[in-house]
């Protein structure tokens, strides 16, 4: 019991220090109180429902009073300063140098929703055939970390029918700009994209900052290679692998691949300037994978660097799955877009704290890992690092360890109040 009480005390103290030192800069006192309550309630309950978060706060007042207060703050407060703090903390404290940003698009499906604000239509990627469903688009940007932590930069929900929406590329540029604001040298940053991002907007925009990029090409896009107009897959199929590589996939198996590269150009990409196409040949796949990049791939080292950067983008997939499974990212019932995006900011703040605990690997990390011994008996096999990856296994265990510790404690972390400076009194000699 003493060990459990010490762990709860250390956890609350660490959470309070994290919020005070990393998240509260520029926030007013009401915003600080709400962020502290929302982060603590979400970490303790693990539920997107405001009623469960209110119940986790264990306030002496009626539950309905606490719930209404949280709902009002979710819908009315502007937490744009918190978004800046989250991106700055991830870049400075969690990400490795040289930087790498992984960008991808996801969705939140609400097939039975009717009262959600500006509810649009998306393609459900979790179902075969990608049927059209009611829901929202979500753009996520995550920083790469070697030690398996989460470095959330942006997680923005939007609808194509909302007022002020311009395009997917514009929403992605806004998300990447949050990280660029805190990077002293953007030329040391590499951005990786999956298929669907190989349009002219992203390369031209990133080239203005001097950043590197690696984008997986769609098969139907044509390129000018050696004076011939060829599709990406058509060019790759006419070549053979010139370089040989070995790497370990996310399941822990060793894979031998071959790759080749060629200089190409497109009238819309980088204003017609040459870029490099890199083709990767897997032994068990009939079609090669083709990537476009502005890295110099004239030698094997450059090709290896581009392929290694793209393989590192798996944390963005882990981040989406972790947020949806552990924080119920699709189970919210708040209706306004402002409230939903504020909830997404609270989820990112929770992930920042979990990433900080993992990065420090101190006494609190050991306590969280040991408190969730039942995680190894998960019937879905989530304790298998070869299936889900060692980094995601660590995320789940630390998050559930934090929830297990807070579930048996009352009260909240103490947030220091702002002290008003006193006016100097006049010195009287007599």
Instruction: Write the pLDDT tens digit of every residue in 358-401.
Output: 999 888 898 888 876 544 444 344 444 444 444 457 888 899 89
Per-residue model confidence as pLDDT tens digits over 16-27: 999 999 999 989
Q: Are 294 and 309 in contact (CB under 8 A)?
A: no
Most confident residue range from 1-5, 387-391, 405-409: 405-409
Paired tokens of 35: 């962020």
Q: Please give the average per-residue pLDDT across 217-245, as a whole number.
A: 85
In sequence order, the 6+-apart residues with CB closer than 8 A to the CB of 216 are 193, 194, 195, 197, 198, 289, 290, 291, 310
Angle between helices 337-360 and 363-371 (to 10 degrees): 110
Question: How many whole angstroms separate alpha carbon 276 and alpha carbon 293?
Answer: 5
For residue 373, what pLDDT is reported? 55
What's the pLDDT band for 271 if we cut at 50, 70, 90? low
Bond from prior residue into 98 cis (ω within 30 degrees of 0): yes
85 pLDDT tier (thresholds 50, 70, 90): very high
Query: Rounded to an integer, what distance in angstroms lies between the CA atom of residue 269 and that of residue 264?
Result: 10
Which helix H or strand E contains 66, and what residues bound it?
Answer: helix 63-76
The answer to whether residue 33 scores a pLDDT higher than 80 is yes
Residue with tokens 């940007």: 141
Q: What is the pLDDT of residue 272?
A: 60
Predicted model pTM: 0.88
pLDDT of residue 127: 79
Query: pLDDT value at position 372?
Result: 62
Across the chain, mean pLDDT equals: 85
Place of tokens 């297990």: 404
C-alpha to C-alpha distance for 219 and 285, rounded to whole angstroms: 15
Q: What is the mean pLDDT of residues 274-303?
A: 89
pLDDT of 420 strictly over 50: no
Beta bridge partners, 158, equal: 137
* Long-range Cβ pairs for the range 301-309 (8 Å, 24+): 302/261, 302/276, 303/243, 303/259, 303/260, 303/261, 303/278, 304/243, 304/245, 306/214, 306/276, 306/278, 307/245, 307/259, 307/278, 307/280, 308/247, 309/100, 309/190, 309/192, 309/212, 309/214
pLDDT, average across residues 182-211: 88
Q: Which of 88-92, 115-119, 217-221, 423-427 has the lowest mean pLDDT?
A: 423-427
- Distance, in Å, from the CA atom of 14 to the CA atom of 20, rounded to the nearest integer, reads 10
What integer is the mean pLDDT of 140-158?
89
**How far is residue 397's CA from residue 403's CA, in Å, rounded to a whole number?**
10
* Encoded tokens for 29: 């006192």
CA distance 104 to 102: 7
Cβ atoms of residues 179 and 140 within 8 Å = no
Alpha helices in 136-213 (DSSP H): 168-180, 201-209
* 306 has a pLDDT exceeding 50: yes
Nearest C-alpha neighbor of 313 from the set 5, 127, 103, 55: 103
Residue from 272, 315, 264, 271 nearest 291 by CA = 264
**381 vs 263, residue with greater confidence:** 263
- Which of the pair, 408 or 366, is modelled with greater confidence? 366
Classified as helix, coil or strand, 290 is: strand
- Looking at per-residue confidence, does 200 or 404 come out higher? 404
Summarize pLDDT for 340-364 with one digit per residue, the tens: 999 999 999 999 999 999 999 888 8
Report the pLDDT value the prediction gives residue 156, as an integer from 0 to 100: 92
């Amino acid at each position: 019991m003493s060990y459990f009480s010490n762990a709860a005390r250390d956890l609350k103290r660490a959470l309070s220090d994290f919020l005070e030192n990393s998240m509260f800069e520029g926030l007013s006192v009401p915003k600080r109180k709400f962020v502290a309550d929302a982060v603590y309630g979400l970490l303790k309950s693990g539920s997107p429902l405001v009623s469960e978060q209110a119940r986790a706060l264990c306030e002496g007042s009626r539950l309905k009073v606490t719930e209404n207060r949280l709902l009002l703050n979710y819908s009315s407060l502007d937490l744009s300063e918190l978004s800046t703090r989250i991106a700055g903390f991830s870049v400075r404290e969690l990400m490795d140098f040289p930087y790498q940003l992984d960008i991808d698009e996801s969705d939140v499906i609400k097939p039975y929703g009717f009262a959600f604000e500006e509810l649009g239509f998306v393609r459900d990627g979790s179902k075969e055939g990608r049927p059209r469903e009611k829901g929202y688009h979500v753009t996520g940007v995550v920083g790469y970390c070697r030690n398996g932590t989460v470095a959330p930069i942006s997680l923005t929900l939007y609808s194509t029918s909302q007022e002020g929406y311009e395009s997917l590329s514009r929403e992605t540029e806004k998300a990447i700009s949050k990280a660029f604001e805190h990077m002293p040298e953007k030329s040391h940053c590499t951005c990786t994209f999956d298929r669907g991002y190989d349009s002219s907007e992203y390369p031209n925009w990133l080239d203005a900052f001097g950043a590197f990029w690696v984008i997986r090409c769609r098969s139907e896009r044509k390129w000018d290679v050696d004076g011939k107009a060829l599709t990406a897959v058509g060019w790759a199929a006419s070549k053979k692998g010139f370089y040989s590589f070995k790497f370990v996939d996310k399941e822990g198996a060793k894979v031998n691949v071959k790759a080749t590269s060629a200089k190409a150009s497109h009238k819309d990409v980088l204003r017609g300037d040459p870029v490099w196409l890199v083709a990767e040949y897997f032994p068990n796949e009939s079609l090669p994978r083709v990537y476009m990049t502005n890295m110099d791939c004239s030698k094997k080292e450059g090709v290896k660097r581009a392929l290694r950067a793209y393989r590192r983008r798996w944390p963005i997939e882990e981040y989406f799955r972790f947020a949806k499974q552990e924080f119920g990212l699709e189970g919210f019932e708040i209706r306004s877009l402002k409230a939903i995006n504020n909830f997404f900011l609270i989820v990112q703040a929770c992930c920042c704290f979990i990433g900080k605990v993992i990065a420090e690997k101190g006494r609190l990390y050991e306590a969280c890992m040991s408190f969730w011994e039942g995680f190894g008996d998960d019937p879905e096999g989530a304790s298998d690092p070869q299936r889900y990856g060692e980094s995601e296994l660590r995320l789940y265990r630390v998050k559930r360890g934090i929830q297990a510790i807070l579930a048996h404690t009352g009260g909240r972390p103490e947030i220091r109040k702002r002290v008003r400076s006193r006016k100097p009194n006049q010195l009287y000699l007599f």
